[in-house]
Structure formats: C-alpha cells, structure tokens
Structure 1
C-alpha cells in the first residue's frame, strides 16, 4: 500500500509563478519587493497582505485579494490544468541534482508521537498563528500552492534511482523555473501508468519524515483535508544548512547577558561572527564583538534536550532573556542568509544580537525522527527547497 496518490486536479505553472515559500524570509519587506518585481509570483497569493496592492490590510482582510489573484492567474494562462497526475520534479544546482515527486499524501498518516500510528512523521514544534493562516488561506482559495517536503527514509536509494531514470527519459520538461540561488526547477506531469505507479509505490511506502512544511501539514489536519500536497524527496537530494536567530532588542548590555549565561554554567570566550563548524558551541555577535558560548547541558536530558537549538531556546532565550520562542523580538533566519548578513543587521542597528548555530546533519535528523523525538522549532533548513507555485493542487 502507498500513501502517495495522484493529484486529482493539478494546475502546473506556465513558467512565471514560481516562488520561495512564505516562511523562507527574514524580512517581510523582501516579500513585497519580490511581488513588486514579479506580480505573477505565487507569493502574492500565499502572502496576500504583503502584496503592494494590499499593504495595510491584515492577513484575514487580504484573503479576498488572494482569491482574485489566483483566479486572474488561471484565467490569464499562468497555470495549465492537468488531471489525475503525479509530477516528476528535478532541481539542478550547479552540477548537483535533486529529485522529488509531487503528489497527494493521506493526512491521517501524520504521526507526531510514538503512540500515534502513521507513516508521516512530523518532527518540530510549530507556531499556531502560522498554522491558522495556512488553514484560512486554503479554505478561501480551495487550492494548495506550497507542498510539504517529505523525506523517504526507507526506500530513498530506490526512489532516487527511479526518479533519475524517469527524468532522463521524460524529454523536455513541461515547465522550468530558476530560483534566486540559480537552481533550475523542472517539472513533468505523469498520468497513471507503469512509471507513475512505480514512483508512487516507492515514494509512499515506509516512513516519511517532514523535512519542510510542519505548519502546512498541521494546517491540513486542522482544516480537515483528507490529503495534502507533498513533494517526496530522497536523503541524497538534500542537505541541511544553518538555521540562525536574530534578537531585535536586549533588556541589558551584552556584558550583562554574558554574565547571566556564565552564572547559568555557560563557558564564554572570544569568537567570530561565523556559523560554528560543528555543534557544541554557538556564536553570539553584538556591538561589533563576537563570542563563542558553550551552553550548559542537562545531564538528565535526552539527546534532543541537549542539541544546540534546544539549548538556545531554554538557556539563552528563556533563562537569560526571558523570551518565549514565538516572541516577536526573535527572527528565525534560514540558511539562504549568510552569517555576514546577520552581522550586518546587527551593525546597522536593526537587531541587537545574532545567534549563529551549527546545522543539524541529515543522518542525525533522520535518526531523531525515526525514534519519534521532536526537534525544536526552526532547527533544520533543508536545501534545495521545493519551489512554491510550480504545482498547485485544487482541493475544493
């Protein structure tokens, strides 16, 4: 049995709608700039309140604008309809190649704990406000524009080889799109038949881990969708980049923050405004100075309790700064933004503190999830990411 199914009604890009996903930005102003430069971008629909014509409205107030934009895009031929298909996906990245399969996956297969049955393992805590926005969006649109990225853990090598072979034999893609990093995204719709059926079997058999799209997967559950839009990919197709943090204001000078950390058991020494080469130490940057900080571990805690992202949440944010992870003074900055960008934000006075954290490894990520342990919020930035607006699933 496979949990991967064809998309009953798919709308495939004609080439101009591709976009970074709504949660890939450290600065909302970037979203507005991208939409302004490319009004056809799916971002104008996914983040309607950030589109130039809707600025000043709330997300909820902008939902009618999103509906109008999607309707206009379809009427203008920006999307082409294709029924009962899965979609072959290839991302070419300067010599490296990633593969995936766009499909619909059974929502009732989502599992968030060891005692909850299901083959789709959701692995991170989420921000409920973002989940509510995703539910409101697909209920207003009747369409899903961004996929959940799922990692096939049991048959990854087989799936990778089968996807590569299918792409090699597929001919010219139905559409291509180039992202800001220069990666070329190509898609091919596959109707029912031996190739599509084999890919669905490999993609949807065994345990799948949510690599990107924790909020989207929970939104599918909360909003009552029987199936959600997914791209099933392989471990050989992805890497995990750093996921850093900016704190926009501190309640005391950096010297006092460091004293609090030392009293809590942290070791502080001079450092650099770079991402640490390996886990165990985080780098802090403030007031033009960098510090290497080894945060105290909990000797009675689990492996997850003592990874760097969890220690930053518990020791730095909660204990030293009195901040909850969802505090608006914290911005989560994915791996598309280099350490130099975070340092510039601090130097320019737009943030007070940069927190630089070594990335989690793919092997560790898979091991943690198969053990049904939960990752801290925003601890994995997978690349390459599935591009939003390439394949849209109609759900109503």
Structure 2
C-alpha cells in the first residue's frame, strides 16, 4: 500500500509562477542550459543547474556550485518570490498539450516505499548522475525536481480531482512551448480522504525521474544516519512526487543515434541486420506499429520488420520490448554498444525532437546511423516493473514534462 502524504510546499508567489517554472534540469546539456537562462533571472533552471552562474570551464560539480543553488533559493525566499504554505496540502497539477490533459497529484512519497518495492522502478541509474543530484539535495536541503510517478487509476481519486478542479486555480499559464500548466490547492479537509485512497493503491511506478528518486532516497538515508533518533515522520523520509493515473499518460518514442558502424563496412552492417530484420527502403515517417523500427542511414530511410523466428523466445516483459530487441540483436552484437548507459558512441533522442533531428544528426556525421522506435506503452512499463525487471536505458519518453520550481520540498538540514 502506498504512503502518499500532503506537505507544506515552498512555491512561487502567483505572479512569479510562469517566470519561475522551468523544464527539468536533465533535458539540457551544459551549453543549452547556459543559453536557456540568458535574460531569465527568475527561471528555476538557474537553481537546478547552478553551474550556469559561473564562467565556462568552471567545475560544474564543485562545492561552490551547489552552495550557489542554496544561496539562490534563500534569496528567492527573502525577496518573496518563493512563499511557503502554512498548512499541509495536496495539489492538483494539470498539464495540457495539443488539447490533451493529464492530471497529477503533487504530494510526498515515502522513501521506505521505494526501498521496499512499493514504489517500483524500471531502469537502473548511473552513479555519476546520482552524485550530482545527491549533492544538490544535500547542500540545499531541498528537493527541487518532482518525480513523475504513475499508478493504476482509482475512480475515487479521479472523482476528487474533478471536484477540486471546479474551484479557481492557483496557477494557470501557458509556457513558451505551448504546454498549459494549471494548479489547484486541495483543501486540507480532503487530506485524510486522499491518504486513505492511496493506501488502496498497491504500487506506484517511476515513470520519469529514476536518478532524482534514487538521489532523494540516499539523502534521506544519510539524514537518518545523522539523526539516529529520527521517528520516520521527518521531511527527509519522503520525496517530492507528482502521481498520475495510468490511463491519462502519453509515452512518445525514444530514438537512438549511433555515431559509427563499429568498424563494419556497409555490406557487413546490412548483412547483420538481415539476420534479424526484414529490410526494405522506406519513406520518411515513424514506425506504424510495434515490431517495426525505422532506420536512417546515408540519406535513406529503411523499414526494419522484426523476424518471427527471432521473436519466438522473446516473450517476457523485457525481451518483448522493441527497444530490447534492437539492443540485444543489433546494438550490442553488431554495433558493439555493450552498455548504452555509458557508451559515448550512442545518443538517445526524445520523440519530441522529431524524426528531422535524426536526419540532421546522421547527415552531419558520415557513417552514422539512427533508429526510430515505436513508443513503449504504459502497460509494458507497468508489466516490467511488476515483474521486478529492468528495461533497457531510455525506453520511455513522457510528454509533457513536469516543470521544476512550481513545488519545492524542504527537508531538515
């Protein structure tokens, strides 16, 4: 049973919400982040990526960088840009993109649920990326990026969400990318109702934010060591999350770009592909269904259809994934990508960037290749997590992205 609690959010004053709200820290490279904050002193990206406040070449993981993030949070509080609610609340966070809305509940999730497997994961994390967020949370004593969680839809929760949405919103704005963000404060008279409703949710699932979750949990465990008399009710025992019902979520394709053919000739490369795919020339366009991959190589698109004989033994929740088929039968044995989490020869391109981005990357680097994937489904994600298995890295790209800075969870120092 999931433990999901209300909290006192540190959040922007209403007039500042639109200017503060920022895309997650990890969708930007260092150069992109530096460019994105130009002329935007209130953007939360300044805090989430504090190296943007230093000269190029400065150690982006230096102690002074994380201290700068803490200083900016305190400054925003002193200036009234951030305010803290006096009571513990849940919040409804609706994101609308291209006319389609999804409604999440902003709340705290228990680090013990993560440790005990009630909050389920489907990906491994990379230690280097964890360390960055561990330091950010530890130095600021604040969880600044909400973790995107999913749960199997419960009608009583959905009914309450619709009831709350009839009230005037706290925030209501359209971001630069056209995504509409609307937030309501849930009256604290509903707190017990929602606490009990989530106790009937058997599991929550990390949809996006595995590194943020692992980092928040590790800081919580560190705080427990520093406070051996802890009761379990302290703020560091919980992490900031937004929980969405599975029936409202939308997963886009997550595509692959490989910088070279692993020393193979074109003939050798295609020979390898023909062992596991039926290959035909194709027009520009995304895969039409599961079991099909589109490939772009040397200014030409190809349709790769998975061979039935190669699918016969691939029937568990992981091996049946299109991304696993490509990884196991092409990326590793043919292109030499043993660990895609750390291999510098492969890049992952979110579907929001479009197939033209794949064409651009391949056209700019001779001998490279890109694969356009059919999106992993939410049911596939839940099945993998329920089986306590792990997907290949970068199997899912969720849109729209939660904005950082709208909710901050402060923990004890």
Which residue of structure 1 lines up, in the alignment, with residue 140 of structure 2? 141
Which residue of structure 1 lines up, in the alignment, with residue 181 of structure 2? 185
1:325 to 2:340 alignment: yes
1:167 to 148, 165, 168: 165
SS of match in other structure, 1:219: helix
2:269 to 245, 257, 276: 257
Which residue of structure 2 lines up, in the alignment, with residue 114 of structure 1? none
Question: What is the rounded CA distance, in whole Å, between the counterparts of 1:312 and 1:52 in structure 2?
Answer: 40
Question: What is the rounded CA distance, in whole Å, between the counterparts of 1:212 and 1:278 in structure 2?
Answer: 23
Which residue of structure 2 lines up, in the alignment, with residue 7 of structure 1? 7
Which residue of structure 2 lines up, in the alignment, with residue 41 of structure 1? 43
Q: Deviations along 1:325-348, whole A, 9 cap, x unmatched?
A: 121222222222111122122223
SS of match in other structure, 2:333: helix
CA contact (8 A) 2:143 2:216 kept: no
Which residue of structure 1 lines up, in the alignment, with residue 300 of structure 2? 289
Question: What is the rounded CA distance, in whole Å, between the counterparts of 1:56 and 1:364 in structure 2?
Answer: 42
1:17 to 2:33 alignment: no
1:259 Cα deviation (Å)?
Answer: 2.5
Question: What is the rounded CA distance, in whole Å, between the counterparts of 2:8 and 2:140 in structure 1?
Answer: 16
Q: Deviations along 1:259-295, whole A, 9 cap, x unmatched?
A: 2333x53332223443211121212212211222245
Question: What is the rounded CA distance, in whole Å, between the counterparts of 1:256 and 1:287 in structure 2?
Answer: 15
1:184 Cα deviation (Å)?
Answer: 1.4
CA contact (8 A) 1:159 1:234 kept: no
1:201 to 2:196 alignment: yes
Question: What is the rounded CA distance, in whole Å, between the counterparts of 2:283 and 2:24 in structure 1?
Answer: 31
Q: Deviations along 1:53-77, whole A, 9 cap, x unmatched?
A: 3432233122233223322333333
1:392 to 2:405 alignment: no
Answer with 4-13 or 217-226: which moved more. Answer: 4-13
Q: Could you say if the C-alpha distance between residues 351 and 132 of structure 1 is closer, same or farther in structure 2, counting changes exceeding 3 Å?
A: farther
Q: Deviations along 1:304-333, whole A, 9 cap, x unmatched?
A: 113111122222222112122121222222
User: Which of structures 1 and 2 has the bigger CA Rg?
Assistant: 2
Question: What is the rounded CA distance, in whole Å, between the counterparts of 2:273 and 2:287 in structure 1?
Answer: 18
Question: What is the rounded CA distance, in whole Å, between the counterparts of 1:351 and 1:192 in structure 2?
Answer: 59
2:325 to 289, 311, 323: 311
CA contact (8 A) 2:2 2:204 kept: no
CA contact (8 A) 2:262 2:334 kept: no
Question: What is the rounded CA distance, in whole Å, between the counterparts of 2:117 and 2:103 in structure 1?
Answer: 24
Q: Could you say if the C-alpha distance between residues 159 and 280 of structure 1 is closer, same or farther in structure 2, counting changes exceeding 3 Å?
A: same
The equivalences for 1:374-389 within 5 A come to 374-389=390-405
TM-score w.r.t. structure 2 length?
0.84
Q: Could you say if the C-alpha distance between residues 259 and 72 of structure 1 is closer, same or farther in structure 2, counting changes exceeding 3 Å?
A: farther
1:268 to 2:283 alignment: no
Question: What is the rounded CA distance, in whole Å, between the counterparts of 2:355 and 2:301 in structure 1?
Answer: 12
CA contact (8 A) 2:276 2:329 kept: no
RMSD: 2.5
Question: What is the rounded CA distance, in whole Å, between the counterparts of 2:182 and 2:367 in structure 1?
Answer: 38
